[in-house]
Amino acid sequence: MRVFIAEKPSLATAIFKGLGGNPTTDKKAGYYEKGSDIVTWCFGHLLSLKDPEDYDSNLKRWTLDSLPIQTRFPPQYKPRSDSKKQLDTVIGFIKKADSIVHAGDPDPEGCLLIDEILDHVGNKKPVQRLLIADLNDKPVKAALANMQPNEKFRPQTNKALARSVADQSFGYNLTRSYTLKAREKGFDNVLNIGRVISSLVGMVNQRTLANQNHEKSHYYELYGTFDIEGLKVKGKLQPHDEIELDDKNRMIDRFQLEVIKDADKGEKGTVEKREVKEEKRQPPMPFNLSKLQITASKKWGYKPKETLDIVQKLYETHQLLTYPRSDNQYLSEAHLENAANILSAIQKTSPNLAASIQSVEPTSTHKAFDGSKIEAHHAIIPTEKDGVGIALSDKERNIYELVSKHFVGLFYPESVREKVTVDIGCCLGRIYRATQTTRLTLGWETLFKGDHEDKSNDNTDDLKPLQQGDTGVCESLDMLTKETQPPKYFDDASLLKAMTEAAKFVQDPALRKQLEAKDKNTKGENGSIGTEATRSGHIEKLGSLKHLISV
């Protein structure tokens, strides 16, 4: 008997169909059966780590004398109260099996979720690993034909287990110690201390205090308008050592600029430097979960957990998107080979994208297609299944089309802009810089109308004819007074982004360097905290910890 253990029922159904089974007629109580194959499933983790009081009943009582609580490794597990029936089913089949197929999600937590059950029962039978990121028949069958020894993935299990044990050990010891010391000061709430949630509370409080303690000040910008070779050229005075600047290189001495304004009016201006460059922009990368949540929050105000639930349904129920809890933005060469089928599915699911798909290039040289950058997951993209006959909600359609546009865009040409920069020298070597940006070709930006607009140009005359050495006169100067702004309070999108680059909030250089090193080879992350699967949950939890947030 070969027993498949899937992480969730929807994955078990896809596997059983891939084996040629009929999920409607062959479903039993907690499993599917076809010949000598059994496909059973979990509901996420069926086991949890034992708590300290499970090892020692004296630890039910919180006292400072009992701290620190000893870390247990290897840990012992206990059934989750809401999953004992299904756990008994899974364990029963493990005991009857000749061989086992581990079908957890393709990430460290998915590896741990099944391995912890196998370890709990002391399994010695051979185990293969099945890696599925797309629940449609074709990729499931391809995965079934390419199973690997489970031992190869044990390092990922150990990674998730180490995190789980460390979180529990530090969480229990620090939560009890901080709570007990706070009670001595009259604070009655439990102070939950966790690796991620405590960092989040700290980041929010740091930003809140910075906002509330902000002291308004002013800075200034000086613009000179020159008549050079019959062209009107408006340039911004560039900061230099003889002008008083703040820590952000902004000019802050109004009197000093008034003097410069009077001195430069009517003076000779000479083109010291003139540069014309083409700027080519590649289409945006496909999404990982955090990038998708950030974009959906900015575009429609969706909460991170809401976006996760939507994309999870598009993956599990409708099978229109690939695995959602991905931290990766790259695709394999196989996705490029299957692009025509994916594009066809998008066109049928979202007919309003049909015209855009008709304009795609037949292939792509986009940097996103690089299989060497894929580890457990690839980017979130549409599957080869179309949604004909599927009634998507407005929010599901919004997310599907957003993901689809990022895939379609990979087959569009670059957008091209021409940037002209002219440096005009005036009195005492002062430089006024004039710029002008002209979009030459829209390329992929036609898919995202309005999302990538340039700032309006200060200069309406074409600056390209100007050459180094051209001279003219400074006709007028205008000074703008600007007020410094406090750091903005976090919203869902900015907090998610902060979690992907948490190292920049760490003041200690050594600690910051350590945190950055963790994400050395992870694009888009810089000393991150949390995972794609847990970040939205941590943000939701903040809502219950308002007593720890500065107001």
List, by residue number, the catalytic residues. Answer: 323
Tokens found for residue 486: 């406090």
CA nearest to 313, candidates 408, 211, 387, 367: 387
**CA separation (Å) from 121 to 52, 76, 77, 78, 115?**
21, 11, 10, 11, 10
Enter the tokens of residue 474.
Answer: 């400074």
- Amino acid (one-letter) located at 293: Q
In whole angstroms, what is the distance from residue 250 CA to residue 239 CA?
7
How do beta strands 431-441 and 415-425 pair?
Answer: antiparallel
Q: CA Rg, the chain, in Å?
A: 30
From 398, 405, 394, 382, select the one nearest 299 (Cα to Cα).
398
Q: Cβ distance 479 to 261 under 8 Å?
A: yes
Of 306, 283, 310, which Cα lies nearest the Cα of 496? 306
Residue 506's Cβ-count burial label (10 Å; 0-12, 13-18, 19+) is: middle
CA–CA dist 309, 303 (Å, integer):
10
C-alpha–C-alpha distance, residues 481 and 410, integer Å: 43
Tell me the β-bridge partners of 32: 27, 39
| Residue in 275, 270, 276, 274 with CA at minimum distance from that of residue 430 | 270
Reference 434, options 202, 226, 251, 291; nearest CA is 226
